[in-house]
Amino acid sequence: MGKSKLISPHGSNELKILLLEGKQHEEELKKAQKLPKVVMTSRETGDLIMLGIGGFTPLEGFMGHEDWKSVCQNMKMSSGLFWPIPVTLSHDKKLDPGTEVCLISDETQEIMGTMKISESYKIDKEFECKNVFSTNDPEHPGVQMVMHQKEWNLAGPVKVLSESYFPTEFKGIYQRPSESRKIFEERGWKTIAALQLRNPMHRSHEYLAKIAVEVSDGIYIHQLVGKLKPGDIPADVRVKCINTLVENYFVKDRVVTGGYPLDMRYAGPREGLLHAIFRQNFGCTHMIIGRDHAGVGNYYGPFDAQEIFFKLWDGALECKMLPIDWTFWCYKCGGMASMKTCPHGKEDRLFLSGTALRKGLSEGGDIPAEFSRKEVLDILKEYYAGLTEKVEIKMHGHATGDAEIKKK
């Protein structure tokens, strides 16, 4: 087979795969059962799986203090490698360098991997939150995640033994980077745009995806199948919605759907950069960044995630941003439009967002037909009708079109 025409993984000529298989897996699993246990949160477990499958190429394990601080402060490892968000593992006690530990999922109690400790260190959690999330507000779900971490961070290289329940529970959706790259190679694609999803696809998502298809060989609809915040629509329902939409409204050989095992951090601009790094590892040349990418509430401006891409230094990231303006349904235009294409006023526009859709559905309100395709709405209505406990969905300016739109 000739040299791949796909983009190289981040900071490497090949994927850094830390997931063991065959005899190596068997031997390491046997050894792991006798090692001291370190229990991981779902966020840490997702990070470990991404390390295993090469999604976090070229990382070899959880970050030490020097890398942690440099990533928080400068968005780069101590080696100079661009990396926007710390990948760390916390523990309630200090462990000596050289100690080998068995990594356990707190959710499933499964052995996920092993790690050789190179360093144990304490961190300033407020420093991390202020740098990564641009806030220390305890209401921010990403801040809560960091503040609930244990006292010590453990650093060191890992060997990964499991992908947890993702390959079985999300069979046909969950993918390794090697698998998505193989599909792109087989289709002869060279330019691939990634669409990040944590919500079912409403019309704006569909519109973004189709704009991307027009200017590239294909679109990779890549959805998060890890944990979300309360009130978000669970992955299995979202998968069903996306599959229905792709089946009925997309040209089949121009779209690939996939899923990845991370929890959302809700880090807005910095998470947009992380999304681009691992999409490059999955084989994508472009990352779609629209309104309020990976945001939550009013913590970030609607286009902060685009602005941060423009500020990157040369050579930081090969995967390029595909920036797309605020999109909406315009009744006068008679279809989807953006601030760049529609001359009409706010009174003629229906602003579409995952938050607004979740709020309408959770409160049993009427959802305008222009919000999403009927097939998708039917699935969502059925899901919400079956809920016994409702979570209040708070609206914010970016979800309603009320926030002032500023683009430099």
Please identify every residue annotated as catalytic. Answer: 198-199
Cα 380 to Cα 4: distance, rounded to the nearest angstrom: 40
Contact present, 41 and 7 (Cβ < 8 Å): no
Using only C-alpha atoms, the chain has a radius of gyration, in whole angstroms, of 21
Q: What are the E-state strand segments in 225-309?
A: 255-260, 286-289
* Residue 294 phi, psi (nearest 5): 60, 25
Contact present, 159 and 114 (Cβ < 8 Å): yes
What do you get for the CA distance between the two ends of the chain, in Å?
Answer: 46
Cα 161 to Cα 27: distance, rounded to the nearest angstrom: 10
3-state DSSP assignment of residue 278: helix
Residue by residue, DSSP assigns 108-149 as: T--EEEEEE--EEE---HHHHHHHHTS---TTSHHHHHHHTS
Residue located via tokens 């305890």: 138
Which residues touch 328 (CB under 8 Å, ≥6 apart)? 204, 336, 337, 338, 342, 349, 350, 351, 352, 401
Q: Are strands 320-323 and 286-289 parallel, antiparallel or unpaired?
A: parallel
Contact present, 118 and 156 (Cβ < 8 Å): yes
Q: What are 320's two structure tokens?
A: 């390029």
Query: What does each C-alpha distance from 377 to 160, 238, 363, 373, 374 come to in angstroms?
Result: 39, 11, 14, 6, 5
